[in-house]
Amino acid sequence: ALGLNDHHQTNIVQYLRFARYQRGQRLKSVLGCFDDIRDSRLKDEANFTIDEVEDLLADLEENVRTEVEAELINGAHTNILLLRQLFQQAEKWHLRLSADVSELENKALLDRIREFEEAEFSGAGADARPHLAPVNDTGSTELLRQEIGRLHVQIGQLEERLQDAQIEAERLKTDKLDLARQLAQGVKGGDRLVRDLEKELERMRDDRREMRAQHSGLGPDEAEDELSRVRALLSLAEQELELKVSQTAPFRNLKQMLQKKNDQIKDLRRRLAQFEDDDEDDD
């Protein structure tokens, strides 16, 4: 009815209700001025001279003027408080509101407001309420509406992107846990292979010491066969280690672990080569 949305129109109705209550209280105060004069100065049997009547009217005028002035001041200050609330809300959104004060004396609009108030509080239906075109509906207002609409669309898009990001974050969290679990399994398997190789090397050393203790050595062919067997075992162990590592999480994330294990195997090979050199020297 006022050219506003339902929320703002409801606020207007609440303010009208407040203003009607305040107006009623002030009218009671003004009527009280007459009651005071009547009770204190007027007597049924009394006859008043012109001077007495003028004095009585002067007192009444002063009382009424004081009450009316107080009401006008209070109404103006109340409106300032209302405007302050609206401006504070606008400033939070970096908006600068303005008012056309000349419209406050637009009699046609004031009559419409009066009709709206009467219809609102008389219980009349919505059809009985007058319709007011939006005030100051200038080009800047339309631009503001468009900007607000654009921001609503942008906010919706950002909310969708946020939901997608949350879903992706949950997926990455799950992948991270899986990777950590697979990495732990891969490290455990690699460590087991290294320990097996170290045990095999130690076993070979024990065999060597045992052969030396018995003062018996292997022939050239038998020594070569034993070395070939060890080389094959090392090659098989290396292949098995690479297979286990490649079956875990993405290979690039485990490349560092694989490099470390390969270095350990190379070290075992170097130590084995030293072992072979020792055998050749003994022979």
Question: How is residue 281 written in tokens?
Answer: 């020297």
pTM of the model: 0.42
Question: How is residue 199 written in tokens?
Answer: 């045990």
Which position has the token pair 């008012």? 99
> Structural domain boundaries of the chain?
6-125, 219-268
196 Cβ neighbours under 8 A, 6+ residues apart: 237
* pLDDT, tens digit only, all 283 positions of the chain: 677 888 888 888 899 999 899 889 888 988 988 888 888 777 666 677 888 888 888 988 998 999 899 989 998 999 999 999 999 998 988 888 888 888 888 898 889 888 988 888 886 555 555 555 454 555 556 667 777 888 888 888 888 888 888 888 788 778 777 777 766 766 566 667 667 667 766 776 676 666 556 545 555 566 567 667 767 776 776 676 666 656 655 556 666 766 776 776 777 767 666 665 655 565 5
Cβ neighbours, 10 Å, residue 241: 22
How many Å is the Cα radius of gyration of the chain?
A: 50
162 Cβ neighbours under 8 A, 6+ residues apart: none
